[in-house]
Amino acid sequence: MSTNEQVLIIGGGVAGLSLALRLADAVPVCMLAKGPLTEGSSLYAQGGVAAVLGDQDSVESHVTDTLVAGAGLCDPEAVRFTVEHSRGAIQWLIDQGVAFTRLTEPGGNGPFDDYHLTREGGHAQRRIIHSADSTGRAITTTLEDKVRRHPNITLHDYHIAIDLITTARLGHGPDRCVGAYALDRRSGRVQVFRGRAVVLATGGIGKVYLYTSNPDVATGDGIAMAWRAGCRVGNMEFIQFHPTCLFHPKAKTFLISEALRGEGGLLRLPSGERFMQAYDERLELAPRDVVARAIDSEMKRLGLGCVYLDISHLSADFIHEHFPSIAARCLELGIDITREPIPVVPAAHYLCGGVVTDLGGRTDLPGLYAVGEAAYTGLHGANRLASNSLLECLVMAQAAATDILAGPARQAVAVVIPPWDESQVTDSDEEVVVAHNWDELRRAMWDYVGIVRTDKRLARALRRVQLLAREIDEYYANFRVSNDLIELRNLVLIGELIVRSAQQRRESRGLHYSLDCPRLEETQPPRPTLLSPPRAD
């Protein structure tokens, strides 16, 4: 079958895997992953998936909790659409063979009554279905196995996409996305991948910050490529900093699940004193932005390197049953969480914005879709409600699959795509430039565009980011591409989009907190921040 008929999916997390499985019985699918297929934030998601499953819960309750967490910036239509499809998304996962944690005693006669549901910050009900504390791993490994065995799915791991291929850039109109250039990291060759539809399932942007819970692959590639191809982005200023990442020199980006606080974990100072009562009446169950700012404030006030999350007052059996991965990893580092508190710090965790899409996953560029963390659907608003992220991946993957399959069988324009041109570049003779600029970018973003922002800090950040962008563009124009250079080029663009978005928001709302604009703007209704790329001449 012609590659013009295949769907090209860039990314291998829950959004990409579930989309591939929903498409592959009807159309051929080609998947690109920049490392091992499932390496990404989905794999490391600990908490679970939020869904309306219990008799005491309701769509209205989940919708309300999401809208409250989103601080007035959620799109109500997107919220309701996602929540109404939550039950079906969980049933689909169970049908695929995902083993969610069950109750030791049968819970009732309903289809989900035998499953253990936990509660996380911002949720009024227990509605988080999970697989112990490794839900992301359970889902991704189950879906990966089915994807690898599906005869209509072709996998290319260790391939990093460089840029999208559009008909306008090829001199054919009207504009449409018809594929992507990607670097084979093992051979060093750049290849052309076609698609009647191209889907960005590339995840988040955590590596733009010095401290992040995200894996190394989270470099905003899809968002940067979409922007360069002419797509708008939305709400890039809203970066969720997870309050509790393990603070240990040998622990790289290890997340301490919010479910610990949901099950009774307490935040303490080194003295043992609790402090959340000074910040929010919901204490440890306050939304993540509130908890992250509280921890940041206490660390700055007292000059601390970390605070502590204590669950040692619960039984050891309960802890090992519900949090086996966290307990095991901490014990490897000499921390027995059944007897002592866990040292934690906030770290960049989740982007609430991304490439603007509709509820079919369509972007501004025909033929191009975005799903998962790379997309801005309006679900999360100014702050993401815990465990809504995996839900969005599943629901929007289904919506995108439905839209793609409803289109004509041969949507892609039959254009000649030239090979990647390396005739004007050479091998780099100073790789230190990439390493230095990478470090400078991440430190500038952490220092100036972190949990608490000011106008002066944002102005400094923009100057530094734009200077770095000019240096990186010059380097990119003269030397052969490498994985690190591609990621750095994308990250510096992501940094600029975050700063520019933050500068436009003249208020403090949700995850964006400015000392110069500490109050909510009086605009009714509040507006998302939308940026449009400059038009090509």
User: Active-site residues: which are they?
Assistant: 288
CA distance 243 to 254: 12
Residue 97: burial class (beta carbons within 10 Å; 0-12, 13-18, 19+):
exposed
Residue 25: burial class (beta carbons within 10 Å; 0-12, 13-18, 19+):
exposed
Phi and psi based region of residue 425 (left: phi greater than 0; alpha: psi -120 to 50; beta: remaining) = beta
Query: Where would I find the H helices in 162-287?
Result: 221-228, 259-262
CA distance 241 to 233: 20
- Assess contact for 466 and 425: CB atoms under 8 A: no
Q: Is the dihedral of CA 276, 278, 282, 288 positive or negative?
A: negative
User: Please, what is the Cα angle at 20 between 177 and 419, to 5 degrees?
Assistant: 35
* DSSP label at residue 110: S
Quick one: which of 354, 310, 378, 387 has its CA closest to 14?
A: 387
3-state secondary structure of 477: helix
CA distance 181 to 482: 13
User: Please, what is the Cα angle at 344 between 338 and 348, to 5 degrees?
Assistant: 135
Which residues does residue 192 pair with via DSSP β-bridges, in sequence order? 181
- Assess contact for 253 and 329: CB atoms under 8 A: no
Quick one: which of 195, 204, 240 has its CA closest to 224?
A: 204
Q: Compute the chain's Rg from CA coordinates.
A: 22
* β-pair type (233-234, 354-356): antiparallel
3-state secondary structure of 157: coil
CA distance 485 to 482: 5
